[in-house]
Structures are given as structure tokens and as C-alpha cells.
Amino acid sequence: MGRSDMATVTDSSPRVRPRLAWLRLNARAALVVLAVFLSTRIMLLLAVFLSSAAIPMPSSTNGYASPDNLLLDGLIRHDSWWYVNIAEHGYTMGDLATGQQGTVTFFPLYPLLVKLVAGLTGDVFVAGVLVSNLAFLAALGFLYGLVRREYDDETAARAALYLAAAPSTIFCAAMYTESLFIALVCATFYFAHRRMWELAAAAGALAAATRNTGVLMAVVIALEGMSQQGMRLRPERLLGPTPAATARIWADHLRRQFGIALASWRSLLAAAYVAIGLLLYMAFLQLTFGDPLGFIHAQATWGRSTSATGITKIFSNVVTNLNLGPNPWAGQLNTLTVLNVLSTVGFLPLVVMCAFKLRPAYAVYTALTFFVPLSTGTVGSMTRYVLMLVPCFVLLAVWGRRSWVDRLVVAIFLPLTTYFAILFSHWYFMG
């Protein structure tokens, strides 16, 4: 071997080793995510199949997607049929006079993907379940990558497990939009954390075309960009020795924050692009129905409304909806309301702690995602909405470094996961 050949080997080996290490690290991450996904999906499918085979369905069931396939049929429930209707027949505005519910309240990206995949599979139900589960696998991958960058592999694995084993995770296996939305939320966080602003903008815009709360990703991207530049809400010293000194402290602080905002122009521009997902849907509604705000106006056909004072009515509405009888321990109560209350009360401390323990973008997203549904004045569907509180699962994963916390989370989550899967597959409304 000549001197030049030896030099080539010597020069290339330092570059080869990091590349191989990177491949091994990502292969391990992929295996962990896949193991979490498969183990939790198998558990859910077993619960759906065995309970469907052994426990009779209620006599008031609305129909079967596939009576010869209990697994597929058990994942097509409630709102799934609205997505089927949209994919096959398009949108409607609804009519208050006739009681027809408007489907324009369901945002378009998920049914559009279902329609496209159905063109390949030839079965809209199979397409819906495929889209949901592949999206959830992607969500776990982005979540793992995000948490690993900020913490470590063990914390990342716990975050993925806690999300995949969350009590209402059946909605991420069924023909629902939750898994797609969570995937896009995790992708937005991941790309923003890595300062890949173009990809963060694309993921955020897609999230805005998936659910109405997707526009919150604009706030996430903007806050993440500014916090990476060093923006702070308050100065280190809040007060000076005199009122004039205090005024100077705050004036200097505001000037610095303004400079930081200007330096964050790429993230602010990316945040502005998030609105494209919503604006495109509004343009479609204008062209089709002559009402760009149809997704809001059609809420009336579902008996829904939001207001700034709605959250003050939660307690009275909960008391009414609990429908307590003289002997609640004999089952004389509304168990769905109980589950929604437990979900709300259980996640409220996590939402509060996110403001103190996690990045500003995570805290703001979590607070808005949690409190916006409560503005309707009820805790309805909170069992499902808490799935979108991705930073809460990150916080639990950080606390899960203590073995007793990890065991407690798993001990609470797994039985409830099975319970929710059985109820959902048997047509009981769970959120």
C-alpha cells in the first residue's frame, strides 16, 4: 500500500465512525418506536377483538363497517362515519331547520388522505384505519426524536410509551383525526426545535388544515424561535431603587426584546405561513358554499358554541350532566361525565406545571389546547382532547425517571386503555 492509500484510509476513518454511530443510534430509536407502537396496538386490537367476540353489542348500534372482521369494524365508530361520508360524498353545511348536521366542521386534510388511500385499497374503512395508524407511528417517531434531543433516549422512550398507552389512545388507532393531528404537532415542535423553519411552517400549515386548533402552531413556531434567540418575558431585576430606575430597567428590557424579535424573523415568517392551511379551507368553503366561516357557523347544527364566559359554567354543567341518583354507588350516575371530569382534573396539574418546567412554546400550546375546549362550558370529550396535550406526556416522561412514578403512570394508563377500547368498540360514546 502506498503512502497516498494509507492517507486515504486514515483521513476517512474519523468520518466513517460518526456516520456509523449515527446509523446505529437511529436504528435503535426506530426499533424502540416500532416496539412501543406494535405492543400498544396489539394490546388494543386484542381488547377490541376479544370483547367484540364475547360481549354482545348494544341493540341500538348504528351499523357495521365490516361485520365479518371484528378488528376493522371495532375501529369504525361514531365520528368515523362522518369521515367516511365526507370521503365518499363531500361536505355539507347542514340545516338547523331540518336538524341536518353540517360536516364542514370537520377539517379537510384527514378525509382527503382517506379518500386518496381508499383509491389504492378499494376500501374506505381500511384506508381510514391505515392513515390513522401510520400517522400515529410517525407521531411517536417525531416525539421520540424531539425528547431525545432535549433530554435522553430513556426519557424519549418513556414519552412515546406514555402517549401510546394513554387511556384514550384507541382514538389514535380508530378512524379518527387525532393521530394525524398529533403527528403534525410533534413534527412542528421537532422542526422548530431544530430551527428547520420551512419544515416547521409546512407541518404547522397541515395541522391547521386538520383541526381548527391547528392554527395554534403559529404561536408555537414564533415562541420557539424567539426563545432560542434569548427572549425573556421579564428582566432579571423587576424593580430598581427608585421609580425612575425601575422604568429604565423595563425600557432597556423591552428594547432588547424588540431586537430579539427582529433577529427571529425567520421563525416569525414561518409562523405566518401556518395560516395557509386554514385560509385554503376557508377559500374552499367560500367557493363551494359562499361562506368562508362555514366551519364556525355550522357548529350551531351540532348544538355547540364557545364564549369567554363559557368556562365559568363548567361546574354547574358538570353537576347537571352527572345525573346523580340517590345511590350513585349503585351506578346511578353518568359514567361518561365522570371520565371526562377525571381527564380534566387529572391533566390540569400537568398543564400548570408545563408553564414552570418546559419551554415557553410548549407551555403556551398546552394551556391553549387545554382551555379552548373548556370554553364551551362543558368537559365533554376531554377524554379525547387530552391526547393532544403532547408536552404533558413529555413532562410525565421526565418525572418517570423515578421508578415509582413510571410504575404509577403505567399502572393507571394500561387498565384504562383496555377499558376505553372495550367501551369504544361497543358503541359507547367516549369523547
To the nearest 10 degrees (0 to 180), the angle between helices 124-150 and 178-193 is: 30
pLDDT (average), residues 342-364: 93
Which has more pLDDT, 413 or 325?
413
The pLDDT of residue 368 is above 80: yes
Burial of 150 (0-12, 13-18, 19+ CB in 10 A): middle
Burial of 352 (0-12, 13-18, 19+ CB in 10 A): middle
Instruction: Determine the pLDDT at residue 15.
Output: 56
Q: Which amino acid is at 423?
A: L
The grid cell for 303 is 348544538
Mean pLDDT across the stretch 410-416? Answer: 95
Lowest mean pLDDT among 70-74, 183-187, 202-206: 70-74
Average pLDDT of every residue of the chain: 87
Say whether pLDDT at 97 is over 90: no
146-152 CB contacts, 8 Å cutoff, 24+ apart: 146/186, 146/189, 146/190, 146/193, 146/394, 147/394, 147/397, 148/29, 149/193, 149/194, 150/193, 151/397, 151/398
How far apart, in whole angstroms, are the C-alpha atoms of residue 218 and residue 200?
Answer: 9
Task: Provide the pLDDT confidence category of residue 306 given band limits of 50, 70 and 90.
Answer: low
Per-residue pLDDT averaged across 238-248, rounded? 73
Cell numbers of 359, please?
A: 419551554
CA-based max dimension of the chain: 94
Q: Cα dist. 290→87, 283, 410 in Å?
A: 21, 9, 49
* For residue 151, pLDDT beyond 60: yes
pLDDT(2) > 50:
no
- Tell me if 195 sits within 8 A of 228, measured CB to CB: yes
- 69: amino acid identity, one letter: N
Whole-structure pTM value: 0.89
pLDDT single digits (tens) 105-122: 999 999 999 999 999 999
CB contact set of 148 (below 8 Å; sequence gap of 6+)? 29, 155, 156
Least confident residue range of 65-69, 257-261, 302-306: 302-306
Task: Summarize the confidence of residues 91-112 as an average pLDDT.
Answer: 88
pLDDT at residue 167 is higher than 80: yes
- Give the pLDDT score at 419: 95
Q: Over pLDDT 90: what percentage of the chain?
A: 61
Mean pLDDT, residues 206-222? 94
pLDDT reported for residue 300: 79
Is residue 44's pLDDT more than 50? Answer: yes
How large is the average pLDDT for residues 20-35? 77
Break the chain into its structural domains and give their ranges: 28-90+108-176+403-431, 307-399
Own/partner pairs, 333-341, CB within 8 angstroms, 24+ separation? 336/428, 336/429, 336/430, 337/379, 339/383, 339/430, 340/379, 340/380, 340/381, 340/382, 340/383, 340/431, 341/379
Q: What is the mean pLDDT of residues 298-302?
A: 79
Query: Cell 346511578 belongs to which residue?
Result: 332
Residue 20's pLDDT is 55
**Nearest-CA neighbor of 157 among 358, 354, 400?**
400
Please tell me the distance from the alpha carbon of residue 227 to that of residue 22, in angstroms, as a whole number: 28
Residue 64 has pLDDT above 80, yes or no: no
Taking 60 as the threshold, does the pLDDT of residue 385 lie above it? yes
Q: Are 171 and 384 in contact (CB under 8 A)?
A: yes
Q: Which of 382, 247, 241 is nearest to 318 (CA)?
A: 382
Q: How confident is the model at residue 327 (pLDDT cuts 50, 70, 90)?
A: confident
Q: Which residue has the cell 407502537?
A: 37
